[in-house]
Amino acid sequence: MDLSSIKQSVLLGDAEATIAAAHEAVAAGVSPSSILTDALIPAMEDVGNLFACGEYFVPELLMAARAMSAAVEVLRPTLARSGYKAAGTVVIGTVQGDLHDIGKRLVAMMLEGSGFDVIDLGTDVAPEQFIAAARDNDAAIVALSALLSTTLPAMESTVGALRAAALHENLRIMVGGAPVTDDFARRIGADGYAPDAPGAAALARRLVGPHGDADAN
Ligand code: B1M
């Protein structure tokens, strides 16, 4: 079955059309993992590229991510039954003292669209909460967001606490948010920094890739 209508509806940010097309594909017997890997993930990659070259802006990104999330909800029950193996679990949250969550939610949606299981802890998340969630869910990645320059120290102490907890040697930590820079990420010992949601999804895939790119900044 031609999956281009799913891809196209995500690109257009049309959630209703994406849901309908996903239902149609499932009814036609297309496997949910194929819908994800052959249509939804490539669509979000295209969205990321359009954003990177300045053709798409945050509203288009949000609409596409919403359409993609809606389709993931259609597929979720069947994906679980079909034994689809996610790229890994990402625990994400906005660091302690910071209540901004729009960009972080966008990042979470893009990560989900890239095949990760995402556990979103919300905002104002204490280091101990990140540690507990990463441990309990055997997370591959912990993703920290901060929007205030005053909460950058909380980001640094969360990275420190995660390292001190020594959960497992493959745990990767990625950071982002408006005041965060590549330099800052390196300085606090994060494994990677991404400036935006599509970049975060690409970074996460690199971090869990064959070389596990520690320091993929
Ligand atoms: Co606040 N706020 N805010 N605010 N707010 C900013 C961030 C600010 C820049 C506004 C300004 O002064 N011009 C300023 C911070 C200045 C600074 O520290 N440098 C600021 C301030 C000062 C405050 C308060 C202190 C205001 C006050 O009360 N006096 C207060 C703090 C509250 C707190 O957190 N403790 C506050 C409160 C709020 C609201 C609650 C009203 C609301 C948040 C609502 C919510 O999130 N649910 C709010 C908002 C909306 C903003 C602005 C207007 C918009 C932020 C946003 O959502 N952008 C913002 C000004 C601005 O940015 N123009 C501002 C859209 C979003 C898609 O982008 O979040 O940058 P962004 O996410 C991007 C990237 O940063 C990146 O990808 C995303 C998408 O591409 N990214 C990651 C984000 N996380 C990532 C993680 C990654 C990778 C990439 O890997 C893990």
**Cβ of 32: how many Cβ atoms within 10 Å?**
23
Residue 43 near residue 10 (C-beta atoms within 8 A): yes
Over its C-alpha atoms, the chain yields an Rg (Å, rounded) of 17
The average confidence (pLDDT) of the chain is 90
Domain check: are 194 and 120 in the same one? yes
Residue 103 sits in the same domain as residue 198: yes
pTM, two decimal places: 0.83
pLDDT (0 to 100) of residue 83: 60
pLDDT band (50, 70, 90) for residue 216 = low
State the CATH number of the domain containing residue 75.
Answer: 1.10.1240.10
Protein residue closest via CA to atom 59 of ligand 1: 147
In the chain, % of residues over pLDDT 90: 62
| CB of 198 closer than 6 angstroms to any ligand 1 atom | no
What 3-state DSSP class applies to 90? strand
Separation between Cα atoms, residue 180 and residue 178, nearest integer Å: 6
Q: Which helix (H) or strand (E) holds 67?
A: helix 58-81
For residue 143, give the ligand 1 atom closest to its CA: 91
* Residue range 46-54: mean pLDDT, rounded: 90
96 and 195, same domain (yes or no):
yes
According to the model, what pLDDT value does residue 32 have? 82
Q: Give the contacts of 84 (CB within 8 A, at least 6 positions apart).
A: 32, 33, 36
Q: Give yes or no: residues 101 and 56 share one domain.
A: no
Question: Is 213 part of a structural domain of the chain?
Answer: no
Q: Are 145 and 154 in contact (CB under 8 A)?
A: no
User: Domain boundary at 27, 59, 82, which?
Assistant: 82
Which strands, in side-by-side order, build the sheet including 192-193?
A: 117-120, 89-94, 141-145, 172-176, 192-193
Q: Is 216 inside any structural domain?
A: no
Query: Lowest-confidence range among 6-10, 81-85, 86-90, 128-132?
Result: 81-85
pLDDT band, very low/low/confident/very high, at 182 (cuts 50, 70, 90): very high
Per-residue model confidence (pLDDT) at position 52: 86
Q: Over 70: is that where the pLDDT of 213 sits? A: no
Are both 109 and 201 inside the same structural domain? yes
Average pLDDT of span 81-100: 87
The domain total for the chain is 2
pLDDT in tens, 161-177: 999 998 887 899 999 99
Q: Which residue has the higher pLDDT, 180 or 198?
A: 180
Confidence of residue 109 (pLDDT cuts 50, 70, 90): confident
- 106 Cβ below 6 A of ligand 1: yes
207 lines ligand 1 (CB under 6 A): no
What per-residue confidence (pLDDT) applies to 80?
62
How much distance in Å is there from the Cα of 116 to the middle of ligand 1? 25
For residue 216, give both structure tokens: 């993929």
Same domain (yes/no): 118, 199? yes
User: Residue 99 belongs to what domain range?
Assistant: 89-207
pLDDT band at residue 115 using 50, 70 and 90 as cut-offs: confident
Atom of ligand 1 nearest to the CA of 99: 34
